[in-house]
Amino acid sequence: MSKDASMANDYHINFSMQELNKILSLVDKIDASKLVDREKIKVLINSNQYIEFISKVVDVQQRHVVRYLRELMLEKIFWDSIEKPLQNISELSAAGDLRFNSITLYLLVRALAPDVVIETGVAHGKSSAYQLAGLHANGKGKLISFDLPASGNVALDGSNTDLAGYEIGHFVPPYLRHLWELNIVDSLIGIEKISSVKNKRVLFFHDSLHTYDHAKYEIQLIRDRVSLIGIIMDNYDMDCGLALQEISDDAQKEIYICKDMGILLF
């Protein structure tokens, strides 16, 4: 089933396009000989509008958002561990976020301090690594992730899932893996088997198949099992975004949009 992509939604709060373009152009100018992701954090710390936006989304003071970013910047073990995988995947397509969505994800995990994050779509594991770094810094929480065996086929949403021979989630540093449960199974099958998250504060990060139907079923399956504190959706501008809009309409809650990431908190 396909939905009308022009479906109206009164509850969108967008990060300033002008500021986004400014950030992206600064990110693009980062010297490739540096650890690019760590340099991105400096760009974000210097964007008052980004700090203000995230602070509004998660309802924490701006100084805490800055503190989270500084703490990540100082997490030497994290940067030492991801330097090589970052270099390895930087040349590949379908490598996950190469700009700054993973850092936004880290901030959301820090501020919302979930007991559990459910993630669909791992690929190289960049988003997984940043969420795990957030849980690690919080001193609580675990990540349950789902992905299909890497096939190299073009998926229904047009994405290419080829990992160029790398293992799913290879990006995730060893020191974070005890917080991680990686399930190699279709998310729609795997989610049905989740049993250990009753009475927990659960955050859902969707980044698997970006079709309306798939996202809708994933969200439905999860909401039938747990009470979510929020849903974060990468590639919100694709058909999957309509599934999030429907939830937002029902709940009469805003979707915050930062770059192509949609964030709906309950």
Ligand X SMILES: C[S@@+](CC[C@H](N)C(=O)[O-])C[C@H]1O[C@@H](n2cnc3c(N)ncnc32)[C@H](O)[C@@H]1O
Site residues for ligand X per CB under 6 A: 96-97, 120-124, 126-127, 146-148, 155, 159, 161, 186-187, 207-209
Which residue lies nearer to ligand X by CB, 181 or 249?
Answer: 181
Least separation in angstroms between CB 24 and ligand X: 17
B/e letters for 246-257, b = 16+ CB within 10 Å, e = fewer, are bbbeeeeebbbb
Least separation in angstroms between CB 173 and ligand X: 14
Residue nearest to ligand X (CB): 96
**Sequential DSSP letters for 45-60:** HT-HHHHHHHHHHHT-
Which residue lies nearer to ligand X by CB, 30 or 155?
Answer: 155
Which residue lies nearer to ligand X by CB, 55 or 144?
Answer: 144
Which residue lies nearer to ligand X by CB, 55 or 128?
Answer: 128
Which residue lies nearer to ligand X by CB, 55 or 240?
Answer: 240
Least separation in angstroms between CB 63 and ligand X: 28
Least separation in angstroms between CB 126 and ligand X: 4
Least separation in angstroms between CB 213 and ligand X: 11
Least separation in angstroms between CB 223 and ligand X: 17
Contact criterion met (CB below 8 Å) for 13 and 254: yes
Contact criterion met (CB below 8 Å) for 49 and 87: no
Q: Residue type at 158?
A: G
How open is the CA angle 125-262-66, to the nearest 5 degrees? 75
Contact criterion met (CB below 8 Å) for 171 and 124: yes
Least separation in angstroms between CB 265 and ligand X: 19
> Ramachandran region of residue 47, left (φ > 0), alpha (ψ -120 to 50) or beta?
beta
On the 0-12 / 13-18 / 19+ scale of CB atoms within 10 A, 118 is: buried
Which residue lies nearer to ligand X by CB, 55 or 172?
Answer: 172
In DSSP terms, 146 is beta-bridged to 120, 183
Which residue lies nearer to ligand X by CB, 35 or 185?
Answer: 185
Contacts of 213 (CB under 8 A, 6+ apart): 1
